[in-house]
């Protein structure tokens, strides 16, 4: 590949016997002699076009060598995005929520279970309270009955011992 700044002279390129078939056809069709300046000019332009074609082809190959790995990476990124895409909507929704909306959502989700736990705990506490009160009343009643019984026994003992 020659440097574009260093142009070859048409006389250096031109050899009437080594011309491409297209140029030979033009010369024969229009009846141009091999030494006609127009043929030399056409040969020189033909040579320049071929050099540019080679440069463009080399550039295309370099560009293809650079772009192929990049295209492969883009394909891998697309596959990864397609795998993540179903959950992206939920992530965007979660990120879009403001603090009050998040608090409301948490309240809505936690309110019912917390109410159920509170209700169950209140029932357990009321059952324990009722059983505790019953136990205290039973003990008080037992103490009262024991006191009355003991008093009755003492009274009987006193009456029996004096009689």
Distance CA 119, CA 130 (A): 16
Of 55, 19, 56, 53, the C-alpha closest to 38 is 19
Taking 80 as the threshold, does the pLDDT of residue 151 lie above it? yes
The ranges assigned to domains in the chain are 1-96, 99-163
Contact 42, 26 (CB under 8 A): yes
> Following DSSP, what letter does each residue of 76-114 receive, concatenated?
HHHHHHHHHHHHHHHHHHHHH--HHHHHHHHHHHHHHHH
Q: What is the pLDDT of residues 75-124, one digit of tens each?
A: 888 888 888 777 777 777 777 777 777 778 777 888 888 888 889 999 99
Q: What Å distances lie between residue 144 and 3, 77, 155, CA to CA?
A: 125, 86, 16
Q: pLDDT band for position 11 (50/70/90)?
A: low
Span between the terminal Cα atoms of the chain, in Å: 150
pLDDT at position 16, please?
Answer: 61
């Amino acid at each position: 590949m020659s440097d574009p700044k260093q142009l070859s002279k048409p006389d250096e390129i031109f050899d009437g016997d080594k011309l491409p078939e297209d140029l030979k056809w033009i010369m024969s069709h229009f009846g141009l002699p091999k030494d006609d300046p127009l043929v030399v000019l056409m040969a020189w332009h033909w040579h320049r076009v071929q050099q540019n074609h080679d440069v463009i082809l080399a550039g295309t190959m370099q560009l293809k060598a650079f772009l192929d790995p990049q295209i492969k990476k883009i394909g891998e990124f697309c596959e990864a995005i397609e795998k993540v895409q179903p959950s992206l909507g939920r992530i965007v929704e979660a990120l879009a929520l403001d603090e009050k909306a998040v608090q409301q959502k948490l309240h809505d989700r936690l309110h019912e279970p917390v109410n159920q736990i509170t209700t169950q705990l209140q029932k357990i506490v009321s059952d324990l309270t009722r059983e505790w009160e019953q136990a205290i009343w039973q003990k008080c009643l037992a103490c009262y009955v024991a006191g009355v019984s003991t008093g009755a026994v003492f009274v009987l003992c006193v009456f029996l011992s004096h009689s």
